[in-house]
């Protein structure tokens, strides 16, 4: 079971190195590697909720979809009952990004790419 934790940390660190700015990557490393929350796989759905929280906090929707594709491809994970809820969300994330990628942008519309911290909340 500890192999799952090590795999998840490795996958998240690789994704962080690929997608994140250096400061954000260092913060990801502190959140992922410095705690035992993801290192110790406990075989519960709560573990996968923690993985989802890291994905949501550090990665954009399209980046999450790519990371989810890597997880879906790991067939050993797909056999774990506690992984099913996360798997369903991962599949939905991939499908949504696929639909958005294929959808034509209407006249006068353009995609807006702003970091989460720059979004207005009012």
**9 inside domain:** yes
Domain that holds residue 93: 2-102
Domain count, the chain: 1
Numbers of helices and strands, H then E, in the chain: 6, 0
Give domain status of residue 114, yes or no: no
Q: Tell whether 66 is covered by a domain.
A: yes
Instruction: Specify if 38 maps to a domain.
Output: yes
pLDDT tens, per residue, the chain with 122 residues: 558 999 999 999 999 999 999 999 999 998 887 778 888 899 999 999 999 999 999 999 989 999 999 999 998 898 999 999 999 999 998 888 888 878 776 545 555 565 554 444 44
d(C-alpha 37, C-alpha 98), whole Å: 31
Indicate the pTM of the whole model.
0.77
91 assigned to some structural domain: yes
Residue 45 located in a structural domain:
yes
The 3-class secondary structure across 30-93, one letter per residue, is HHHHCCCCCCCCCCCHHHHHHHHHHHHHHCCHHHHHHHHHHHHCCHHHHCCHHHHHHHHHHHHH
Q: Is residue 109 part of a domain?
A: no
Does residue 32 form part of some domain? yes
Distance CA 72, CA 58 (A): 19
């Amino acid at each position: 079971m500890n192999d799952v934790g090590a795999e998840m940390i490795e996958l998240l660190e690789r994704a962080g190195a690929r997608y994140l700015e250096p400061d954000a990557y260092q913060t990801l490393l502190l959140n992922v590697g410095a705690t035992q929350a993801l290192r110790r796989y406990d075989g519960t759905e709560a573990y996968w909720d923690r993985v989802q929280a890291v994905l949501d906090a550090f990665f954009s929707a399209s980046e999450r979809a790519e990371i989810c594709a890597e997880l879906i491809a790991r067939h050993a994970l797909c056999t774990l009952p506690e992984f099913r809820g996360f798997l369903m969300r991962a599949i939905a994330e991939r499908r949504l990004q696929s639909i958005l990628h294929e959808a034509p942008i209407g006249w006068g519309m353009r995609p807006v790419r702003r970091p989460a911290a720059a979004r207005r909340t009012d």
